[in-house]
């Protein structure tokens, strides 16, 4: 078999795919975005009505695909429109690769500031120059050859990408020519690397870099006949090592989100912060998993390399992993109540036919209203989250809305300031610095405004510092870090 044909791994021609036009997909070709040494095409999707700094997702298609087909199949545009971020679709050409694969195995294309890798980073630079992109929230994802190229971009530009999601891909530098690529795809070990050796292949590309490496989520079907699943094992070895994470699984969730075919496993770093996620999809072949439909968690289109997996849309969970999915709406109700307060009412907007599942802090009870959009709560002595998940009549399930309620304070701000646990906010760094606070508590940071809304996700920079995904605007905020044995809370003022 012709080697380049086989390298279309990612692979058999999509004869059955009915591609939408570029205009129908809402993506726009950008014809001038830099020197473009890799001779790639660039398309973007910029939803109307964006305001403030917005995240950016870079999406890379598989072999025999293009930007238009991948936009249709993956469903990234729908999520960008719903949640307010931009998407760039890099596109390979047949002049570079007869099967339209990104050349993830060609060393002239996958090193820092060279070839296709440089062309792709020039697309990111174009977006930063023309739109108000949040440079701390840039992500990359791709399928197959695009998945392998995702690992390339994470490896050679760790200073650009915060996280990546690889769909049926290959570790960085697993192959350095087309013959090696065939062996790797078929699961034959060309170089048997240790995790440290896998990581060193990445570090050699940017030897002066001392920052954090991107976190990784890996998605792959167990019946993938094009890219052997051993590649996922090697990817996990490479990126757990780069993230100073455990080589063994820390958490396992079978029947993820109620889907018996999906297992999620998590690898924590040395501070017990999740660093690498693995989604194993039983019985699925070489593809991304999509859940077609109109629900917020659904999207994409079924095709040869996008397979229907009801209840699990891989693009949605990649976006969730990136921190791009905000709470659906705010809960109304008191954010400060007295100990043993009774008859407190909490509500969200009502949708006809929907049911609502509520949770309340430890020691509190729901006196009435469970299942409806409004509940009455009797509190105990513990502060905590009141949260609700909406299940719509058509089967749609929305992410939970959360409201933090302080019990036993008349001001709505409960401050814990003690020698054994301190924290302060650095506006310049947009981060929370802590002292003598448990690693477990650091994994459970919430920042609330004075009406009890959770305003921004956070990520662990190191064992004492938490970075915030969004810049805090002027105002007063409540910081809460919750461990099993102790909760640390405080307030900050931003001017």
Structurally, the chain folds into a number of domains equal to 3
Residue 86 predicted with pLDDT over 60:
yes
Q: What are phi and psi of 154, to 5 degrees?
A: -65, -35
Higher pLDDT among residues 438 and 231, named by residue? 231
Find out whether 105 and 176 touch, Cβ atoms under 8 Å. yes
Domain end point (choices 288, 322, 356): 322
Q: Which of 271, 298, 322 is the last residue of a domain?
A: 322
- 471-489 pLDDT tens trace: 777 777 777 776 655 666 6
Do residues 12 and 1 touch, judged by C-beta distance below 8 A? no
The reply to whether 394 and 479 lie within a common domain is no
Predicted confidence at residue 210, as pLDDT, reads 95
Average pLDDT over residues 3-18: 31
C-alpha distance from residue 479 to each of 154, 275, 412, 413, 487 (Å): 31, 23, 12, 9, 10
Secondary structure of residue 478 in the 3-state scheme? strand
Does 328 map to a domain? no
Give mean pLDDT, residues 66-76: 97
A 10 A CB-CB count for 482 gives 17
Cβ atoms of 49 and 78 within 8 Å: the answer is no
Q: Please tell me the distance from the alpha carbon of residue 351 to that of residue 474, in angstroms, as a whole number.
A: 33
Same domain, 270 and 346: no
Q: What are the tens digits of pLDDT across the range 363-372?
A: 999 999 999 9
| Residue 271 pLDDT greater than 80, yes or no | no
Asked if residue 180 and residue 34 are part of one domain, the reply reads: yes
Over residues 72-91, the mean pLDDT reads: 96
Q: Tell me the mean pLDDT in the region 413-427.
A: 52
Specify the CATH number for the domain of residue 295.
Answer: 3.40.50.1820
How far is CA 203 from each of CA 82, 210, 323, rounded to the nearest angstrom? 36, 10, 26
Are residues 220 and 287 both part of a single domain? yes
Whether 146 contacts 102, CB under 8 Å: yes
Distance, CA of 288 to CA of 297 (rounded, Å)? 15
pLDDT for 280: 98
pLDDT of 416 higher than 60: no
Q: Same structural domain for residues 348 and 392? A: yes
Say whether both 201 and 341 belong to one domain. no
Q: Domain ends where: 383, 407, 431?
A: 407
Distance (Å) of CA 70 to CA 47, 131, 302, 382, 419: 17, 23, 11, 48, 54
Give the span between the Cα atoms of 87 and 54, in whole angstroms: 11
Structure tokens at 126: 């174009």
Span 376-385, pLDDT tens digits: 999 998 877 8
**3-class secondary structure per residue, 300-350:** CCCECCEEECCCCCHHHHHHHHHCCCCCCCCCECCCEECCCCCCEEEECCC
What average pLDDT is seen over the chain? Answer: 86
Let me know if residue 297 belongs to a domain: yes
CATH of residue 341's domain is 2.60.40
Higher pLDDT, 159 or 484: 159
DSSP tag of 131: S
Indicate whether 170 and 104 sit together in one domain. yes
Instruction: Please say whether the beta carbons of 138 and 214 come within 8 A.
Output: no
Q: Are residues 164 and 308 in the same domain?
A: yes
Q: Residues 349, 309: one domain? A: no
Based on the residue annotation, tell me whether 144 is a catalytic residue of this protein. Answer: yes
Q: What is the pLDDT of residue 16?
A: 30
Q: 160 lies in which domain range?
A: 3-322
Residues 52 and 187 in one domain: yes
**Bridge partners for 345 per DSSP:** 376
Instruction: Name the token pair of 17.
Output: 């795919």
Those residues whose C-beta lies under 8 Å from the C-beta of residue 23, and which sit 6 or more positions away, are: none
Nearest Cα residue to 35 out of 115, 110, 129: 115
* Any domain includes 330: no
For the entire predicted model, the pTM comes to 0.73
Per-residue pLDDT at 230 exceeds 80: yes
* Residue 283 counted as domain residue: yes
Residue 42 has pLDDT above 80, yes or no: yes
For residue 413, tell me if it sits in a domain.
no
What gap in Å lies between CA 450 and CA 472, rounded to an integer? 13
Residue 411 pLDDT level (bands cut at 50, 70, 90): very low
User: Tens of pLDDT along 273-287?
Assistant: 889 999 999 999 999
- What is the crossing angle of helices 230-242 and 195-203, to 10°? 70
- Share in percent of the chain as helix, strand, coil (round to 5): 20, 30, 50
Angle at 190 between CA 218 and CA 58, to 5 degrees: 30
Assign 23 a pLDDT band (cuts: 50, 70, 90).
Answer: very low
Per annotation, catalytic residue among 144, 314, 336, 480 = 144
pLDDT tens profile 336-358: 899 999 999 999 999 889 999 99
Q: In the structure encoding, which two tokens stand for residue 237, read together? A: 């070895």
Percent of the chain with pLDDT strictly greater than 90:
62
* Residue at 329 is within a domain: no
Question: With 90 as the cut, is the pLDDT of residue 61 above it?
Answer: yes
Note whether residue 116 is domain-resident.
yes
Q: What is the pLDDT of residue 487?
A: 63
- Residue 278 corresponds to which tokens in the numbers above? 């693995």
pLDDT at 4 over 60: no
**Whole-number Å distance between alpha carbons of 258 and 315:** 17
Look at residue 476 in the predicted model and tell me its pLDDT: 75
- Determine how β-strand 288-290 pairs with β-strand 306-308: parallel
pLDDT for residue 24: 36
Identify the band that residue 397 occupies on the pLDDT scale cut at 50, 70 and 90: confident
Asked if residue 331 belongs to a domain, the reply is no
Is the pLDDT reported for residue 169 higher than 70? yes
Q: What's the rounded Cα separation, in Å, for the pair 352 and 355?
A: 9
Mark whether 474 and 389 lie in a shared domain: no
Q: What is the pLDDT of residue 15?
A: 26
352 and 473 share a domain? Answer: no
């Amino acid at each position: 078999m012709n080697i380049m044909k086989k390298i279309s791994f990612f692979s058999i021609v999509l004869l059955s795919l009915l591609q939408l036009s570029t205009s129908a997909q809402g993506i726009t070709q950008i014809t001038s975005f830099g020197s473009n040494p890799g001779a790639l095409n660039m398309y973007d999707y910029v939803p109307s009505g964006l305001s403030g700094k917005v995240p950016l997702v870079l999406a890379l298609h598989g072999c025999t695909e293009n930007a238009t087909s991948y936009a249709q199949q993956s469903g990234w545009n729908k999520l960008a429109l719903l949640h307010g971020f931009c998407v760039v679709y890099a596109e390979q050409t047949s002049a570079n690769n007869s099967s339209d694969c990104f050349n993830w195995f060609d060393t002239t294309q996958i090193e820092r500031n060279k070839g296709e890798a440089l062309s792709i980073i020039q697309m990111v630079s174009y977006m930063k120059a023309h739109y108000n992109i949040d440079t701390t929230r840039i992500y990359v994802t791709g399928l197959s050859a695009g998945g392998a190229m995702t690992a390339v971009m994470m490896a050679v530009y760790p200073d650009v990408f915060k996280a990546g999601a690889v769909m049926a891909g290959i570790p960085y530098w697993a192959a350095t020519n087309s013959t090696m690529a065939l062996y790797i795809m078929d699961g034959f070990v060309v170089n048997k690397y240790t995790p440290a050796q896998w990581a060193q292949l990445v570090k050699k590309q940017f030897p002066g870099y001392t920052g954090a490496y991107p976190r990784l989520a890996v998605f792959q079907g167990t019946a993938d006949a094009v890219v052997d699943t051993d590649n996922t094992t090697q990817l996990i070895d490479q990126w757990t090592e780069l993230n100073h994470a455990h080589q063994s699984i820390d958490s396992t969730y079978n029947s993820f989100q109620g889907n018996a075919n999906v297992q999620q496993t998590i690898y924590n770093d040395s501070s017990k912060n999740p660093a690498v996620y693995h989604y194993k999809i039983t019985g699925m072949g070489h593809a991304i998993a999509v859940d077609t439909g109109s629900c917020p968690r659904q999207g994409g289109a079924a095709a040869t390399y996008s397979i229907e997996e009801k209840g699990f849309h891989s693009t949605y969970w990649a976006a969730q992993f990136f921190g791009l999915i905000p709470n659906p709406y705010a809960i109304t109700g008191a954010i400060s109540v007295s100990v043993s307060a009774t008859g407190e009412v909490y509500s969200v907007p009502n949708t006809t036919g929907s049911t609502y599942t509520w949770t309340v802090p430890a020691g509190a009870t729901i006196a009435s209203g469970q299942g409806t959009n409004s509940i009455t709560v009797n509190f105990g002595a513990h502060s905590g989250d009141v949260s609700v998940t909406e299940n719509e009549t058509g089967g749609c399930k929305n992410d939970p809305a959360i409201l933090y309620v302080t019990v036993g304070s008349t001001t709505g701000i409960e401050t814990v300031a003690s020698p054994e646990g301190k924290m302060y906010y650095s506006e310049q760094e947009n981060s929370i610095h802590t002292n003598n606070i448990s690693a477990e508590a650091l994994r459970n940071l919430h920042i609330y405004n004075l009406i009890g809304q959770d305003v921004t996700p956070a990520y662990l920079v190191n064992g004492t510092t938490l970075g915030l995904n969004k810049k805090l605007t002027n105002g007063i905020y409540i910081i809460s870090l919750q461990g099993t044995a102790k909760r640390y809370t405080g307030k900050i003022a931003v001017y």
